[in-house]
Amino acid sequence: MTENDKSRRTFLKATGAAALTAGIAGCSGDGSSEPTDASTETGTGTGEQTPVVKERTEIVPGSTAVEKTGEYSFRITLREPFSFAVPVLAYSAFSIVPEGVVGDIQGYDGDMSYEEFSTSNPVGAGPFRFETWESGDGGEFAATAFEDYHGEAADFDLQDAIITSPTARFNYFLNENADVAGIPTEKYEPNKVDLPSGAGQRTGSYGPLQNDKTVNMARTPTINTFYVGFNMEKVPKAVRQAMAYVVNRESFVESVFKSRGAGAYNLTPTQIFPGGASAYQEHWQGYDGGDTGGSGFDGLSGYPYSPNQNDVAAAKQVMREAGYGPDNRFELNWLQYESGTWKQMANTIRSRLEAAFIDMNISSAAFGPLLSQSEKGQHEALTLGWIADYPAPQNFLQLVDPPNTVYDAEGTQPNGARLFWSEDAMADENVRQFMVDQFDRIQNNPGTSEEAKQTRADAAVKLEEGLWASAAMIPIYHRTDDLFWYDTVDYDAPGAMGASRSKMVNAASGVKGGTVNGISATFNSLDPIASGNTASGGKIMDMFDAPFNYPNAAPEAEPLLVEDFEANDELTQYEFKLKEGVQFQGDYGEVTADDAVYSIRRLVESSNSTNTYFPLSVLNIDREERTVTYTEAPSGE
């Protein structure tokens, strides 16, 4: 988060809750028109009748700080130092498309209509050429190998059936219609697994299935964390701690998720935890009884809430100490996304909390309503998950940076974990300040020097401890992804960044019949800047190439369309040199710097872009903004 963002938040706070709720009331933000960025309220308050004079800032078209510096080289300028530019540029939204292919930014008319590009004629420089897409449940997607691919061309084609129902997917796989697939938890039988023990990705077999076949299986711990977060303005610390005491991660993972995951004590997943897996384990073990607050708070040694057990007695005690009892019970609303497994877990937690004077109501919502309710702070306890955008602790820990946990309808920074960790939160102010300071240490030490890395690592670990002390959020588990395949393909299962970050050309070989048949979820667009979910992200990865890539989803990004790059000492300017001679599909010629500039400008400036979070919030590419003043009629609703 930038200093600007922070001062803006403080400003909003100063104008009082009224201004904030005014922005929320219309479920709308405070307004702007098409290309927008941050906007600032300078109005006269929210008086009933007075028209509100507002300012908004919008990005000046063409001002995105990405420029061509040679036929094959281009430069990106950032507003602030950032050392993870390379992994971020591996994200599929940064895929390079031919200059002027669509006319959705200023200066281009477009070679084809947007609808054509995004549904029936996507053009990239990736290993597969688009063939057909029949959208919808029961439809199909097909792509053929691109012979002129700049890397090693695939010797097989792709064919995916689009199926959403877990049972139907499983049936499709059982009938050997698909070579590679996942198996939904409800159909998965742990006793059929034959995997070697150990950490990291493991490969073995699974079966026999009901069709008498035994299939290959890979279990991959992917980089993610699923958690319960609290609205700290509504839920007292004692209640949060009580829940932490009764949560027994290991037994949840075993009984609810059939051991397809690992208990989570830190928000930062094992693979990217400073010091690695062993440091992760050591970090939470051996709590020495340290205080979870107080003026001298400087972190904790070990996880304080009875790890690996269901400690109802401790939950009861912490509630008693806070003045609750049989006649003074707390009513807690639990909001979760639609999921049978989480429901099962919620029921268990509810029955345990009953003894600790907490009555829990469970409700569930689809993802959209869940997000909009929680950004307005209408929730109390909430289940969510986070899957790595790039493999670094701060990608997770930004979720719990206190200023980022309060909804802010403005700007480019998405809401973090919806904890509402404001000054009004029912929490120790010292711990809050501790969290803010530690996150600033990460922000202020972006460099690649050993010292900077050490400082960031230390701050990351401290943030985890502050999170324990406040019980603002209870990390529950890190999911592992299982993939299964028949002998019709030699499959090298994707790594920790997950299958949606891998290209099939890197995963499959020795394909019998010349086509890899898979199963895909529904997706709604083939335009890289509008790819919304993991299913379309996977398709984009196969058809398009970005400047960088996670080879078969291993968590180390490597150059792909880029040959070389250098950054200035401040890490604010990156200059990239593209590989020469890389061809686009379909007669669009060579990939040059003009194409790269156009593609990144589209991601920032196009109204079709649904991923500006990456260039504007994560990378924070420099851009020019202009202020527009306008008058808003008093809201009459």
Smallest gap from Cβ 182 to another protein, in A, equals 15
Residue 130: beta bridge partners? 143
- Going from the C-alpha of 279 to that of each of 72, 268, 272, 395, the distances in angstroms are 43, 12, 11, 19
Measured CA to CA, the distance from residue 402 to residue 5 in angstroms comes to 13
Give, as ranges, the residues between 506 and 565 that touch another protein (CB under 8 A): 522, 524-525, 530, 532-533
- Residues in the chain, overall count: 637
Smallest gap from Cβ 15 to another protein, in A, equals 16
Give, as ranges, the residues between 99 and 128 that touch another protein (CB under 8 A): 114-115, 118-119
Smallest gap from Cβ 29 to another protein, in A, equals 4
For the window 341-370, what string marks contact with another protein as x by the rule CB under 8 A?
A: ------------------------xxxxx-
If the CB atoms of residues 66 and 246 are measured against another protein, the closer one turns out to be 66
Q: What are residue 87's phi and psi, to 5 degrees? A: -60, -30
DSSP states of 504-534 as a string? Answer: HHHHEES-GGGEEEEEE-------GGG--SH
Tell me: does residue 11 bind another protein (CB under 8 A): no
Tell me: does residue 167 bind another protein (CB under 8 A): yes
Q: Report which residue type is found at 330.
A: F
Give, as ranges, the residues between 610 and 629 that touch another protein (CB under 8 A): 610-613, 616-617
Interface pick for another protein out of 145, 174, 279, 322 (rule CB under 8 A): 174
Smallest gap from Cβ 9 to another protein, in A, equals 12
Smallest gap from Cβ 450 to another protein, in A, equals 30
Tell me: does residue 609 bind another protein (CB under 8 A): yes
Smallest gap from Cβ 345 to another protein, in A, equals 20
Span from 260-268, 301-309, 384-392, 498-506 in contact with another protein (CB under 8 A): 384-392
For the window 122-161, what string marks contact with another protein as x by the rule CB under 8 A?
A: ------------xxxxxxx--------------------x
Strands 73-77 and 66-68: antiparallel
If the CB atoms of residues 62 and 634 are measured against another protein, the closer one turns out to be 634
If the CB atoms of residues 237 and 379 are measured against another protein, the closer one turns out to be 379
- The dihedral over CA atoms of 162, 164, 165, 169, expressed in degrees to the nearest 10, equals 40
Interface pick for another protein out of 389, 428, 481, 595 (rule CB under 8 A): 389
If the CB atoms of residues 223 and 358 are measured against another protein, the closer one turns out to be 223
Smallest gap from Cβ 368 to another protein, in A, equals 3
Interface pick for another protein out of 7, 10, 28, 281 (rule CB under 8 A): 28
Smallest gap from Cβ 478 to another protein, in A, equals 17
If the CB atoms of residues 138 and 286 are measured against another protein, the closer one turns out to be 138
Burial of residue 210 (CB within 10 Å: 0-12, 13-18, 19+) is exposed
Structure tokens at 74: 């281009």
Interface pick for another protein out of 346, 384, 474, 554 (rule CB under 8 A): 384
Q: What are residue 334's phi and psi, to 5 degrees? A: -110, 125
Smallest gap from Cβ 192 to another protein, in A, equals 14
3-state DSSP call for residue 620?
coil
Measured CA to CA, the distance from residue 595 to residue 63 in angstroms comes to 16
Span from 325-333, 352-360, 555-563, 609-617 in contact with another protein (CB under 8 A): 609-617
Give, as ranges, the residues between 235 and 254 that touch another protein (CB under 8 A): none
- Binding-site size for another protein (CB under 8 A) equals 86
| Residue owning tokens 């593209």 | 578
Smallest gap from Cβ 375 to another protein, in A, equals 8
DSSP states of 602-617 as a string? Answer: HHHH-TT-S-TIIIII
Measured CA to CA, the distance from residue 505 to residue 461 in angstroms comes to 37
Give, as ranges, the residues between 191 and 210 that touch another protein (CB under 8 A): 209-210
DSSP states of 20-84 as a string? Answer: HHHHHHTTS-S---SS---EE--SS---SSSPEEEEEEEEPTT-SSEEE-SSSEEEEEBSS--S-
Smallest gap from Cβ 294 to another protein, in A, equals 34
Smallest gap from Cβ 161 to another protein, in A, equals 5
Element (H, E) at 250: helix 249-255
Give, as ranges, the residues between 412 and 451 that touch another protein (CB under 8 A): 412-415
Q: Report which residue type is found at 175.
A: N
| Contacts of the segment 270-278: beta carbons below 8 A, 24+ positions apart | 270/221, 270/478, 271/221, 271/223, 271/391, 271/496, 271/555, 272/223, 272/388, 272/391, 272/392, 272/393, 272/396, 272/555, 273/393, 273/460, 274/393, 274/456, 274/457, 274/458, 274/460, 274/461, 275/457, 277/199
Structure tokens at 489: 């393909």
Residue 388: beta bridge partners? none
Interface pick for another protein out of 63, 144, 177, 251 (rule CB under 8 A): 177
If the CB atoms of residues 35 and 466 are measured against another protein, the closer one turns out to be 35
Residue 202: beta bridge partners? 219
If the CB atoms of residues 251 and 617 are measured against another protein, the closer one turns out to be 617
If the CB atoms of residues 461 and 497 are measured against another protein, the closer one turns out to be 497
- Going from the C-alpha of 635 to that of each of 49, 89, 376, 598, 628, the distances in angstroms are 9, 41, 19, 39, 20
Span from 60-68, 175-183, 236-244, 298-306 in contact with another protein (CB under 8 A): 175-183
Give, as ranges, the residues between 208 and 237 that touch another protein (CB under 8 A): 209-212
Give, as ranges, the residues between 53 and 82 that touch another protein (CB under 8 A): 54, 56
Structure tokens at 606: 């196009």
Smallest gap from Cβ 490 to another protein, in A, equals 21
If the CB atoms of residues 286 and 369 are measured against another protein, the closer one turns out to be 369
The strands making up 562-567's β-sheet, listed across from edge to edge, are: 66-68, 73-77, 573-578, 562-567
If the CB atoms of residues 169 and 352 are measured against another protein, the closer one turns out to be 169
